[in-house]
Structure 1
Amino acid sequence: MAPIDGSLPTLRWGVIGTGLISSWFTKDITAPRKSPKAKHIIQAIGSSSLEKGNAFVTEHLPSLTPQPTIYAGYEGVYNDPNVDIIYIGTPHGLHKTQCLAAIAAGKHILCEKAFALNATEAREILSAAAEKGTFIMEAMWTRFHPLVSTLHQVLHKENAIGDIRRTFCDFGLDMNLSSLPSNSRLKDPSMGAGSLLDIGIYALTWGLLTLDPDSHSGDSKEKEKPQITATQTLKDGIDISSSFLLHYPSTGRQGILTCTTEARTPEVFMKIEGTDGYILIEGVAASAPRSFTVYPKIGSDSGSTGGKEEGNKYEFELEGMGFYFEADAVAVSISHGERENPVMSHGETVRVLEILDVIRRQGGARFPQEDEA
């Protein structure tokens, strides 16, 4: 979309789904910022009813001007001529159908993670987008956080902790699933319920970003595929916890990655070990990092006595939650005529889902759609 105001790339968004993630996304990309890289307009919102759609705007976007068009259902959003791009913020199990519908209408797409239930679905969606010539990207917002690019520089360019050996990452939330109805997206297997696709995808992403220097950008076709060993704890057919090991045979690097819906992870959610030191990463959750600290190797010649050194801390203050980083990147890519963004490339989306598929095959979690295929 060419800039409407003559300066910044501008996108007119149609939003599918009125849940929590859509409220975060829409508020964040429309809030005032000091140095925005793009302009975002919430043009239309599709919900299961006009009442829900109006309530969403009243609660989350009360001062937005002009107010978006509210549609009962999603077809109106897909076919709205004033919408450039569809943001899909619905449960994983609906993504394939909704992506294909948006593509058929000729719309660009930003689809929440997990992009699809499995790699097969993802390939079908991406093939349809390629045939139609539309931009499409998985909304893995953490990859666009400035902390990630700085960490990549510190780890893989400056070699601040030497040769990377192991990454430990946990993403745990206490979701109290027993209190939720059976049709909750967190309990319904047909919606992709389980800890793995909801939050384990972040632990996996951190493992790939820190152990594989090429995971931050570019295509994934030629990247080394790590060996995977996984286990899951299932309850009523969904995984309430998953643990998986990534092993890179060429380097010996390992990722020890976990997720659970039964306990919340402390603010320090990740540790990266190298031959010359280690890094601790912290934030409100593994999806929303706020700082990382580089420490010398414990017991090294730097004078460590085994206690925690002061370290070199990198902090990142945001103007909002940080969803605008991915939205800006999408706007810039589309303004350049691109059909994918290298930070979250199509190849990387498929690779991540292929690994998640392996984890589920070893752990036992399946979705009804897979048994029907």
Structure 2
Amino acid sequence: MPPPNLPTLRWGVIATGMISSWFVKDLVLDRPDAKAHHTIEAIGSSSQEKGQTFAQEYCPHESTTIYGSYEEVYTDPSVDIVYIGTPHAFHLRNCLDAIAHGKHVLCEKAFTLNASQAREVFAAAKDRGVFVMEAMWIRFHPLTRALQVKIHEDNVIGRVQRVFCDFSLDMDIDSLPDDSRLKNPALGAGSLLDIGIYSLTWALLAADPNVGGKAHVPGILASQKLSNGADVATAAILGYPSGIQAIVTSSLSFATAPQFCRIEGTEGFIIVQGPGTSAPERFTVHLKTPSGDTAAEGITFSFNKPGMGFYWEADAVAVDISEGRIENDIMPWAETIRVLEILDEIRRQGGARYDCD
């Protein structure tokens, strides 16, 4: 059991889809290394019946109030923070409504549909003095920190030269209903905001040592394959003044291999692996030999975890709030805006549009 003197954060969860189920299951895990206590105080759904079914399956031992609306979660005095797991297109409204009621917010990626909407949310949070963060959970994974140390502090592969990262799923888009969040542009559909944001995140983490600080804005060359206005495939090249190139791709037509990211340097390369680009488990460092060849057998660093790993970001949020901060230094507001600006430019070049653009 974790020590009793940790901060406690009381959560309200809106939406009862897959991402919310993963988050809630992780919050209620018993972890000896937990940095905070988490309780699920309220769940808001489109119906109380759906909410009850969700709670019984994913947090059956919590004393959770079930609401048939999101508004009731925002107004519940027992809720400190709202976790937003709705489709991208609803994030702006959900964030603003929660903030207006004085609630802290953890909102799933992509945080909003574009950078302009994100600025609106952060301005509202600043005015109200509440904590807000985009839930890009892989940034809080111990693997991510270890990888950044190896690349940018230990310089194990020398100077980074190229990064390749892909996140693709075989979704059989044609078979999905027109109102699917992966197919309907009104819901922020397409591969880029749903999964391509992970490819971009890994590329930024590998190519830029200042992520979370004064990070660089790379040049962008992008192309998209569109279907009914939504991107079913995206490819982008990020170019840095240093000469580093990062190639990021996403698709809804073919599943990514477990070796989803390759980082090349002057002294070797690193492969990041896992069952998905959003589920890293290990990375392997391959160094050049004295003869100049790259060793086929590398050194692997593995990271086991209970559950999915969403609790690392939740712990960080709890600590920040307990210490009076309104943004996190690993995923600060400026980084969310930078990522969205890059996504905006990729869509501008590729052709995917949303009504809010």
- The bucket for the TM-score relative to the shorter chain is over 0.9
Alignment of 1:101-250 (within 5 A): 101-215=97-211, 217-218=212-213, 222-249=214-241
Q: Deviations over 1:36-91 (max 9, x none)?
A: 111110000000011111111122223x232x100011110000000000000000
Question: What displacement does 1:303 show?
Answer: 7.3
- Is it true that 1:353 corresponds to 2:349 in the alignment? no
**C-alpha separation in 2, matches of 1:175 and 1:17:** 22
For residue 369 of structure 1, give the secondary structure of its aligned residue in structure 2: coil
Residue in structure 1 matching 2:59, options 58, 61, 68: 61
RMSD of the TM alignment (CA)?
1.2
Query: Is 1:29 matched with 2:27?
Result: yes
SS in 1 for 2:73: helix
Q: Is the 8 A contact 1:269 1:282 kept in 2?
A: yes
1:247-326 to 2 correspondences below 5 Å: 247-249=239-241, 251-297=242-288, 300-301=289-290, 304=293, 309-326=296-313
1:309 CA displacement: 1.9
Letter in 2 for 1:24: W
Q: Deviations over 1:159-198 (max 9, x none)?
A: 0000000000000111122222111111111110000000
Residue 6 of structure 1 deviates from its aligned partner by 5.5
TM-score, normalised to structure 2, is 0.97
CA contact 2:286–2:296 (8 Å) conserved in 1:
yes
Alignment coverage as a number of residue pairs: 355
Letter in 2 for 1:52: K
Q: Is the 8 A contact 1:190 1:369 kept in 2?
A: no
Q: Residue 95 of structure 1 corresponds to which residue in structure 2?
A: 91
Q: Aligned partners of 2:9, 2:254: CA distance in 1, in Å?
A: 39
CA distance in 2, matches of 1:194, 1:42: 31
Deviations 1:236-255 (A, max 9, x none): 11000000000001x10000
Work out the CA distance in 1 between the residues paired with 2:173 and 2:50. 24
Unaligned runs of 5+ in 2: none
Instruction: For 2:243, give the aligned amino acid.
Output: G
In 2, Cα distance between the equivalents of 1:214 and 1:369?
30
Alignment partners' CA distance in 2, 1:36 and 1:159: 31
In structure 2, the residue matched to 1:330 is 317
SS at the partner of 2:285? strand
| Amino acid of the structure 1 residue aligned with 2:41 | Q
Secondary structure of the 1:285 match is: coil
| Deviation per residue, 1:304-333 (Å, 9 max, x gap) | 4x6x52111100000211000000000011
Q: CA deviation at 1:368?
A: 2.1
SS of the equivalent of 1:310 reads coil
1:365 maps to 2:349: no
Q: Is the Cα–Cα contact under 8 Å of residues 86 and 108 in structure 1 kept in the other structure?
A: yes
The residue aligned with 1:10 is 8
Partner letter of residue 273 of structure 1?
A: E
2:274 match: secondary structure: strand
Structure 1, residues 207-253: CA drift from partner, whole Å, max 9, x if none?
111111011x33xxx4321000000000111000000000001x100
* Offset, 1:302: 5.3
* 2:62 alignment partner AA: T
Q: Distance in 2 between matches of 1:52 and 1:149?
A: 37
Match of 2:353, SS state, is coil
* Secondary structure at 2:237 match in 1: strand
Partners of 2:331 and 2:74 lie apart in 1 by 23
Amino acid at match of 2:254: A
Rounded to whole Å, the distance in 2 between the matches of 1:227 and 1:27 is 39
- SS across alignment from 2:321: helix
Q: Quick one: which amino acid aligns to residue 358 of structure 1?
A: E
Name the % identity: 56
Asked if the contact 1:246/1:256 (under 8 Å) is kept, the reply is: yes
2-structure distance, mates of 1:324, 1:8: 14
Larger deviation: 51-60 or 270-279?
Answer: 51-60
1:227 is aligned with what amino acid?
G
Letter in 2 for 1:241: A
Separation in 1, partners of 2:217, 2:337: 12
Unaligned runs of 5+ in 1: none
Deviation at residue 147 of structure 1 after TM alignment:
0.4
Q: Which amino acid aligns with 2:276?
A: A
